[in-house]
Amino acid sequence: MYIKKSYLCTIFLRIIMKFITAIRNRKAVHAYSGEPLSNAHVAKIEEFIRQMPVPFGAKVRICLLRGNQKDSKTTKLGTYGRCKNTCDFLVAIYKNAPLAEEAAAYVLEQMVLFCSNLGLGTCLLVDQFHHENFLKRIQLEPGEILKMITPVGYLSQRRRSFGHKVEHATQSDPHKPFEKLFCNKNFNTPLHEEQAGIYAEPLEIVRVGLSGIDRQAYCIVLNDNHLHFYKLFSEYAAVDMGIALCHFEQSCTELDIKGTYKVMNIKTKNHRYEYVISWISEQNNTD
């Protein structure tokens, strides 16, 4: 089964924002001013939510929750101290199904990038928030899951920073090297950037983009014109996978590289990774 976005939605996304710049520039923001979003920003975010397509045939909904304003009796929405002076939040709710968690992460990451382009701060959090308080504001339907949120708002003038130890990281680059994330034809052969053809830049954008809680818990195998996406056998790897799928597809769209996602009948021959989906190219990799 091929998984395509509607033509009009694709055009909409391409007109209103540049994903590659947003992916390269985005930082996780942990300290906010505490001010509520302006009416103008709320209107832009809600319009983007209405227009944004959901991939992989999944059922995902994004909600903007207003809250934590001074003198408000609304239930406080907290993040266990992970983020300070938060006010407004975006939440991703998905119906449990194959690829649904990846789709939710994909869609929430699109929202994060859109908000970054508006000059707003965000910090995608997975299960690091007071679920019970959020659930007082959201009515879940049977089978729905709330696992991912992000505060969205104006940056504090005194920004807090958190150090994260990332495996294989260097002082100059906190991300895994290109050859550690991407493989050529099989898991045993590293893919070098000069071998990636038209996919060199989209893969590099995937590499340098912020990921979820598991820190780049995926592997991508290039086989001629097509790419196969795998995730670690890990609780939160689906979130990393969804973010990577978003970064890759939106980069290809911006660079006018034609292709689509398709679930193939691929048997994983690796004890660390499980197969997720493939990118089926509609052009030669050397074009």
pLDDT digits (tens, 9 = 90+) for 221-255: 999 889 999 999 988 999 999 999 999 999 999 99
Residue with the larger pLDDT of the pair 157 and 177: 177
- For residue 142, the tally of other CB atoms under 10 A from its CB is 6
Mean pLDDT of 193-212: 92
Q: What percent of the chain has pLDDT over 70?
A: 84
Q: What's the rounded Cα separation, in Å, for the pair 28 and 246?
A: 17
User: Using alpha carbons only, what angle is made at residue 139 by residues 75 and 95, rounded to the nearest 5 degrees?
Assistant: 130
Q: Which helix (H) or strand (E) holds 34?
A: none
Indicate if the pLDDT at residue 281 is higher than 50.
yes
Indicate if the pLDDT at residue 286 is higher than 80.
no
CA distances from 111 to 51, 123, 242, 264 (A): 11, 11, 13, 28
pLDDT digits (tens, 9 = 90+) for 25-52: 888 999 999 999 999 999 999 999 999 9
- Domains of the chain with CATH codes: 2-153 (3.40.109.10), 178-281 (3.40.109.30)
Q: Which amino acid is at 124?
A: L
Tokens of 234: 């890990």
Q: What's the rounded Cα separation, in Å, for the pair 202 and 194?
A: 13
Indicate if the pLDDT at residue 158 is higher than 60.
yes
Residue with the larger pLDDT of the pair 107 and 130: 107
Please give the pLDDT value at position 173. 60
